Amino acid sequence: MNTLEKLPESTLKIRFPDCDPFNHLNNSKYIDYMINAREDQLMTHYDFDIYRLAREKKVSWVVAQNQIAYLAPAVLMETVNIQTRLLSYEDKSLVFEALMWNEHKTNLKAILWSKLVHFNFATNKSEVHSAELTDFFKQVVNPVNGVSSFEERLKGLKAMKA
């Protein structure tokens, strides 16, 4: 069995319509960039198409909670590197992390933890993950050792920077 990438990454350029008058990425757009990067990485690294899953099986995930910390501005036309990982999963939910770095991964710009609930659009209710999804999660889950909360993770990342 092939080992799947547990910390996929990709680069994106910060675009003008997403910036504030100071040419900084607008706060809400950090989340958009990170979620878009994760969606692209799922396709690129795992051939996992969440939109096909929604069309064919009428299931997907809805955001239940976001925790984000803004550590440094991302600026107009800057190339950023976004790394993501599946931190954990349960019967009906999962948590993923996204880190936005500068292009060379020397300056952390933001961290996001997003909790998603598995949802069936046909029944309009949350739903237990299928065995197939659970098997996939087992292959890619990548928790941060010794970290049980967003605040702990943030503190550890800030300590690495110091």
- Domain positions in the chain are 9-161
Per-residue pLDDT reduced to its tens digit, 51-72: 999 999 999 999 999 999 999 9
Of 144, 148, 157, nearest in space to 72 by CA:
157
Q: What is the CATH number of domain 9-161?
A: 3.10.129.10
Residues with Cβ < 8 Å from 13, sequence gap 6 or more? Answer: 77, 78, 79, 80
Residues with Cβ < 8 Å from 121, sequence gap 6 or more? Answer: 54, 58, 59, 60
Checking if the pLDDT of 2 tops 70, the result is no
Checking if the pLDDT of 133 tops 90, the result is yes
Residues with Cβ < 8 Å from 94, sequence gap 6 or more? Answer: 61, 86, 88, 115, 116, 118, 137
pTM: 0.95
What is the C-alpha to C-alpha distance for residues 70 and 26, in angstroms, rounded to an integer? 11
Q: How confident is the model at residue 161, as a pLDDT?
A: 73
Per-residue pLDDT reduced to its tens digit, 69-121: 999 999 999 999 999 999 999 999 999 999 999 999 999 999 999 999 999 99
Mean pLDDT of the chain: 96
Higher pLDDT, 31 or 159: 31
Type of residue at 76? L
Q: How confident is the model at residue 1, as a pLDDT?
A: 47
